[in-house]
Amino acid sequence: MTDQWPRYEVFKQDRTDGPFRNVGSVHAPDAELALMNARNVFARRPACVALWVVPDAAIARRTAEQLAAGDAVEIEDSGDSGRYAVFSKQSQRQTMTYVDYVGEVTARSVEAALQTAADTFTDVPGIVWWACPVEAITASPQSDLPGFEAATSKLFRMPNQYHTVFTMQKIRRGEEGEE
């Protein structure tokens, strides 16, 4: 038993022609509040045109090695086919786990979607694959755009924009009051 709210993975789109990229996660009691928390945590300053949140529990994840070993196909297909959004981690260079949205596939289970994605998007270097049902994604409404734009106009002040830094340096050098 945990007293934590469920975790949602957050995907942020920096430009309208850019990918939705996983930037981290938030806890929230529901998707609506998850979007709100995501905005506050991940889009207060940086460029952002749209956000997605997806319940962590709705996401299946496999490494390329696991897929190659047939890990995903061993899971029995469950019922009718559906549409799945698939994501892949494409580089090891970033210290953060950047996982980008790649596209949609049709599959009979979320695990099968992972294998289908790896087989379909062969031009994408998928180190790790993620998949979730498309209906598990909650997207920020178009009406959020003015708010995102307003956020980017906020001034981010570095510490040296305040006189205090120079004053402290002067005090350390023993120059205080010598002006």
Residues at the site binding other proteins, with contacts judged by CB under 8 A: 5, 26-29, 32-33, 36-37, 39-41, 44, 146-147, 150, 162-164, 167
**CB nearer other proteins, residue 22 or residue 37:** 37
Q: How far is the CB of 28 from other proteins (least distance, A)?
A: 7
Residue 142 CB, shortest distance to other proteins, in Å, is 14
Q: HEC string of 48-101? A: CCEEEEEEHHHCEEEEHHHHHCCCCCCCCCCCCCEEEEEEEECCCCCCCCCCEE
Distance of CA 159 to the CA centre of its chain: 28
The residue (of 35 and 118) whose beta carbon lies closer to other proteins is 35
Cα gap 81→109, rounded to integer Å = 7
CB of 26 to other proteins, least distance (A): 5
CA-based Rg of the chain, rounded to a whole angstrom?
A: 22
Task: Rank residues 26 and 105 by Cβ distance to other proteins and give the closer one.
Answer: 26
